[in-house]
Amino acid sequence: MRAYLFNLSILLSRQFITLISIDRWLVTSSSAWLRRQSSPKITQWLIIGSVIFWSLYAMHALIGYGSNPSGCYPSPGTIYSLFSSIDAIMTAVLSSVIMIIFSILTLHNLRLNSIRRIQPSTMQHTLVTVPERQRRSKRNTQFLRLSLLQVLVFIILNSGWTVFAIFSAVSKPATLGLFNTILLVSFLQGFGITLLYIYGVTTLIVYTLASKIFRSECWMMCKRWWNKAKQCFYNMF
């Protein structure tokens, strides 16, 4: 069960981070139809569909994973072990490629939007257009910074588990029973899992570092919660 939940959490995190990258491309598009696709209703159905699909897909972990001397992972030398390794590699690589592609497309959209807005109307006063241009430039910079940070953090923190999957796929079954190999497998597995656990909490850190708007909203939300907590405390006495 733990292996199932672990695999499910990895798959969902990679799915959601790729959807975020696609959503950024949609909201920065010059096409009104594409921008309309970034809506709460569509997002809600995508989340529900993703949870159902990956919950069913990850059920293979309930059958294929077993207890081994170096931990809980697929039995070495089996077809399922090869499938599990390829699955871990492909999901990590595909997620990285999708994030990179849509980050580049988002950058392209932002540049096109900047070019269109740089030429102000002749009826518009310069004092009005300059602050507006600066505000949009800051927002575009935050978009780019956030996209680059997420891609970089994703690749770094998912690389450990991918290396473990590659090692498991290329290792011969006879060598996996050796003491030194067991130690190496345990290290790679523990290192990869630790990086994945760290990745699970990096979203808040990345948004906090990259987005001034997010920091302001978090601060305002904390103040509201603090005021509500004080009010509840005063009402108790």
Parse the chain into domains and list their residue ranges: 2-200
49-89 confidence digits (pLDDT tens): 999 999 998 888 888 776 655 556 666 667 777 788 788 88
Q: What is the pLDDT of residue 127?
A: 47
- Taking the alpha carbons at both ends of the chain, their separation in whole angstroms is 46
Q: What is the pLDDT of residue 122?
A: 44
Q: What is the pLDDT of residue 55?
A: 92
Q: What is the pLDDT of residue 48?
A: 92
Q: pTM of the entire structure?
A: 0.70
Q: What is the pLDDT of residue 106?
A: 86
Helices then strands, counting H and E runs in the chain, come out as: 9, 2
Query: Is residue 26 classed exposed, middle or buried when 0-12, 13-18 and 19+ CB atoms within 10 A define those classes?
Result: buried
Q: Which two tokens stand for residue 196?
A: 């994945």
- Least Cα distance to 10 among 186, 188, 160, 206 occurs for 160
Q: What is the CATH number of domain 2-200?
A: 1.20.1070.10
Q: What is the pLDDT of residue 179?
A: 59
Q: What is the pLDDT of residue 121?
A: 47
Q: Which two tokens stand for residue 107?
A: 């950058």
Pure H helices in 38-78: 40-57, 60-64
**Rounded CA gap, 211 and 204, in Å?**
11
**Checking phi first, is residue 23 left (phi over 0); if not, alpha (psi -120 to 50) or beta?**
alpha
Low-confidence ranges of the chain (pLDDT < 50): 121-123, 125-128
